[in-house]
Structure 1
Amino acid sequence: MKKKIIALFLASAMALSMAACGSKAPASSASGTGSAAAGQKAAAPDQDLVIGFNLDISTLDPHQVADTLSMSVQSTMYEPLVTFDENQKIVPALAESWKAESDNLTYTFKLRKGVKFHDGTEFNAAAFKANYDRCMKDQKLRQYRTVSKWQSVETPDDYTVVVKLKEPNCTFINKMTMFEIVSPKALAQGTAYLAKNPDGTGAYQFKERVEGDHVTVTPFAGYWNGKPAVNSITFKAVPEDGARVAMLQTGEADYIYPMPSTQAPTVDGKKDIKVVTSPSAIMRYVTLNTNLPQLKDKRVRQAMNYAIDKKAYIKTIFNGYASEVHSCYPSTVQYYSEQAPYDFNLEKAKSLMKEAGYENGFELTMWGDNTTNEMKGMQFVEQQLAQIGIKVKVTPMEPNTLSSMISVEPDKAKVQLWYVNWSPSSFDADGAMRSILAYSMIPPASANTAYYNNPEFDKTLDEALAATDTAKLTDLYAKAQKLVWEDAPWIFLGSDQVIAGEKTYVSGIYLAPDGKLDVTKAKLS
């Protein structure tokens, strides 16, 4: 690769210059502004695409993945039967077509012919069945939660798959966009092998991974949907914001995500850089461990919500590239139902604390990722909560360390507050709530680190899952959101826009509302 080496002083100089900048309100657009965006295009120095992420990926196993950055990398190598297009419409991928029977229990998929795995073996119905079998046998896999709702998988011929559900499930097709298919030959080698040797049908095949640093993929010559346009794609972990932007400026990176919101207005249109923004499905929040004595009373949790100035949060942390969310997920997700806001009100917050017997406050510890913006967000929440007597100790951690500390049995749980974000890549209401709020999803099963336990909420989600009538779904999901909002197991902070930075010679990269990248059609011109 003919990428330039980062000048270390550039990141420092940039940080100083950003501190001197005013908080310019961003324009809401899907493309950059300024001279570069207006048509001045540089030529790509090579055909090796380098993408700078703020985190390392968590896994290369598509049946275990939970975060959108890892999904972005895996989607270059793996494919599902169906996928989302750029309008969040479900379209064919490895399946050419599908249909649902009138019982809403039986789905038939006609598979695409002539598709090969990277190891040269054929994709067919038996391969799909092997993936189903693998996930059913290992309850530790995240995809077990999907396939455990299936009654059976039948393969009447080599290119037909029939999935029968145990009960109607309105999210089934959405969830199928996340069920990516692994070569049976690789599956036979075991989980440890698969974690280091991805083997799918995707446009790119695995070359190498240096943990904590990068993953590189190269074109798969036998890809069924045409030859990829670039020679390689490297996904590089660069946690420090200034360094990530500096990589884009110097040309060491061709694309970065996320683009720090504080720096976006300054670099847009400069040095052949274009800033790309769009509304997101990302929810920013702080989980409140409701098992803790001081957090059991919902008046305390409501007080914590009233104590946060959400408008200041959006301006300070995201430079205006965000919006308030008056529910437990953003309006970009199905069946969003707006609730009465927790407007900033210190007097009300203090009154609720006094009513609950905590007029003098208490001490808590907050965990979160050790990236620049996450630490800034945690410090903001710390300062806000101090106004009502809650003293917060901020403890940033490397993401994999944090994940291991959270994914423990309840009797070993030490999490008190977790500054985090979530986006449902299936774009359905159940996906926006169940994994992080249903009581069955407390760690280690999933990420309900509030240990939120409301049987009425869980029952409402289950009723909605079996419903097919749109009006009924609307009512049920509105009820579920209202219950969570009033119980306040989180501090509801907002939804930031997805913001990326790219060189003007880059095209074909799609940034989805959940923060997932589709780079399979990327071009360097």
Structure 2
Amino acid sequence: MFNRRKVFIFAASLIILLVLFSGCSNSSETKGKDSTQGTATKEGNDLTIAVDANLISMDPHDTNDTLSGSVQRTMFQGLFGFSKGMEVVPVLAKDYKISDNGLVYTFQLKKGITFHDGASFNAKAVKVNIDRLANPDNNLKRHSLFAMVKSTEVVDEYTVKVKLKKPFGAFINNLAHPAGRIISPKALEKYGKEVSRNPVGTGPYKFKEWVPGDHLTVVKYDQYWQDGYPKIDKLTFEPTPENGSRVAKLKTGEADFIFPVPPEQAKQIDGKNGIEVKAEPSIVVRYMAMNSMKEPFNNVKVRKAINYGIDKEAFIKVVKRGFGKPLDSVIAPKTSFYSQQKVYEYNLEKAKQLLKEAGYPDGFKTTLWGGNNSTSMKGMQFIQQQLAKIGVDVEIVPMETGTMSEKIWSTKPKETELEMYYGGWSPSTGDADWGIRPLLGGKEAFPPKSYNTAYYSNDKVTKLINDALLTAKPDEREKLYAEIQKLIWNDAPWAFLTVDYTISGKKNYLEGVYLLPDGSLSTHDAKIVK
């Protein structure tokens, strides 16, 4: 269901935010005791984390949002994962080797690990999961990450062999992606598609309950395979889309950790009420996709005019409050094989001239879809105001996550009503492939198969993307991805906005909870310091 509220929503949210902060107390409330000197204490060993959107699914194979993946990380693990700096590290895998032709991967697995339902983690479990992901008939959102798999073979109880259809240079990175997390085969057989509401993995926490829109709770798994973990008894995630409400929870101690912290509040709350705010550059890119199948966005001059018509520096100051950098490629600098491009400078006259040349001297009307949380609304409203200066009349259509999933990610290309989409992307493999192919990889990446909301298709780009996957040699991949980024930049299927900062807030008694550069949350090392 569409919610076609416009600019007045943001004004209303600011009023609510001010009211909330004016009513916040520095005294003890709910779960923690705060003092005006900036220290906090905690009773018990449970944590509450407030997040900015509703959770979609607890099936890691069928999830396309970073937030749901963050919650899944508490319960699931894959053969590989990422360190705090996004380096690939082994998790459930002990070792591996690759055949000389790059087609066969043989994995040695760790022993003595069980799923939360008592089933054993072994080669058969890995085969069941990879086969599930590799089968296109399952219509899983993360199938494209494993579409290159030809077959999976159980060699012995703790050895599994994966054969690829053709060499794929980023395969280990794909296994480290959240989609590569292993679900209990017993749970898959028992629940089928309903496994999305009944998650069973090998992680430090096991699923307790999920009340959609209110909270999801996980509890300590006593048979967890890593000694000394987890250090927390219970974790509760509370969707809190409104920025002011989320910050208020942290101030009062109702939440111990929140993300994201709204940029406009970051400096104000840091160091007060026992709160610590952390902001760091990420690999999350912020963009506005333009549907190049629809007029007027099928004209590259219109797309470039949109880019020249948005002041990126002002966007960072107003929307991000300084917590960001102008996006100067289709991927962020910390992503493998990044290649810098020349930023589209803010130039209203050039934008108007391009629109005139494209046949739109008086501009045009269009719609912009995006999330309904406070920060997304603010970003869309800024774009609306900017484009009005070049005669582009933008109607904002905010959506909650479930509606967005249905209207954008589940709709066939010819049936979509999408014109412009305001969003962000985190390449959670850390590799250029997953930063580019799902979003701009031609017709095979159009929704519902993948996430190409620009419906961008350039045959040369698609060929180069495929060529880059056929080699594991870094120098060859670097050269190919440099050309890819140059071509896409010139085609301008997006309005290139920013590289986001991750901004989180926590109470100062909490350690070991942090955001990775891809914007996802890690709670594995969480502990309360008494």
How high is the TM-score relative to the length of structure 1? 0.92
Indicate conservation of the 8 Å contact 2:170/2:472, yes or no.
Answer: no
Q: 1:82 aligns with which of 80, 83, 102?
A: 80
Whether 1:510 aligns to 2:509 is no
Q: CA deviation at 1:143?
A: 3.2
Partner of 2:488: 484
Q: CA deviation at 1:148?
A: 2.4
Q: CA deviation at 1:11?
A: 4.1
Q: 1:426 aligns with which of 429, 450, 455?
A: 429
The AA in structure 1 aligned to 2:145 is T
Task: Give 1:62-461 correspondences, 5 Å limit.
Answer: 62-137=60-135, 138-178=137-177, 179-226=180-227, 227-406=229-408, 407-439=410-442, 440-461=444-465
Q: Using the alignment, how far apart are the partners of 2:43 and 2:115 within structure 1?
A: 31
State which drifts further: 98-107 or 213-222: 98-107
Q: Using the alignment, how far apart are the partners of 1:208 and 1:477 within structure 2?
A: 44
Distance change (3 Å), C-alpha of 1:347 and 1:15: farther
Q: Using the alignment, how far apart are the partners of 2:357 and 2:459 within structure 1?
A: 26
Partner of 1:24: none
The AA in structure 2 aligned to 1:307 is G
The AA in structure 1 aligned to 2:213 is G
| SS of equivalent to 1:467 | coil
Q: Using the alignment, how far apart are the partners of 2:128 and 2:309 within structure 1?
A: 51
| SS of equivalent to 1:262 | helix
Deviation above 4 Å: which 4+ runs of structure 1? 14-17
Q: CA deviation at 1:314?
A: 0.1
Q: Deviations over 1:23-67 (max 9, x none)?
A: xxxxxxxxxxxxx9xx96432122110000001111111111111
Partner of 1:523: 527
The AA in structure 2 aligned to 1:426 is T
Partner of 1:466: 470
Q: Using the alignment, how far apart are the partners of 2:21 and 2:417 within structure 1?
A: 35
Q: CA deviation at 1:403?
A: 1.5
Indicate conservation of the 8 Å contact 1:286/1:417, yes or no.
Answer: yes
Q: Deviations over 1:496-516 (max 9, x none)?
A: 100000000010112101110
Q: Which runs of 5 or more residues in structure 1 are unaligned? A: 1-8, 18-35
Q: Using the alignment, how far apart are the partners of 1:510 and 1:214 within structure 2?
A: 20
CA RMSD, Structure 1 to Structure 2 (Å): 1.7
Q: Deviations over 1:186-242 (max 9, x none)?
A: 111243331221111110000000111211000111100123111100011000001
Q: Using the alignment, how far apart are the partners of 2:128 and 2:327 within structure 1?
A: 41
Q: Using the alignment, how far apart are the partners of 2:21 and 2:53 within structure 1?
A: 20
Q: Using the alignment, how far apart are the partners of 2:192 and 2:358 within structure 1?
A: 49
Indicate conservation of the 8 Å contact 2:64/2:142, yes or no.
Answer: no
Q: Percent identity?
A: 43
Q: CA deviation at 1:492?
A: 0.5
Q: Using the alignment, how far apart are the partners of 1:233 and 1:75 within structure 2?
A: 12
The AA in structure 1 aligned to 2:278 is V
Q: CA deviation at 1:90?
A: 1.4
Q: CA deviation at 1:101?
A: 2.4
Q: Using the alignment, how far apart are the partners of 1:15 and 1:390 within structure 2?
A: 36
Partner of 2:28: none
Distance change (3 Å), C-alpha of 1:197 and 1:139: closer
Q: CA deviation at 1:249?
A: 0.2
The AA in structure 2 aligned to 1:260 is P
Q: Using the alignment, how far apart are the partners of 1:420 and 1:143 within structure 2?
A: 19
Q: CA deviation at 1:305?
A: 0.1
Q: Using the alignment, how far apart are the partners of 2:469 and 2:338 within structure 1?
A: 16
State which drifts further: 491-500 or 464-473: 464-473
Q: Using the alignment, how far apart are the partners of 1:167 and 1:15 within structure 2?
A: 57
Q: CA deviation at 1:142?
A: 2.5
Partner of 2:11: none
Q: Using the alignment, how far apart are the partners of 1:105 and 1:16 within structure 2?
A: 61
Q: Deviations over 1:371-396 (max 9, x none)?
A: 00100100000111111111000111
Distance change (3 Å), C-alpha of 1:199 and 1:257: same
The AA in structure 2 aligned to 1:151 is K
State which drifts further: 268-277 or 158-167: 158-167
State which drifts further: 172-181 or 142-151: 142-151
The AA in structure 1 aligned to 2:387 is L
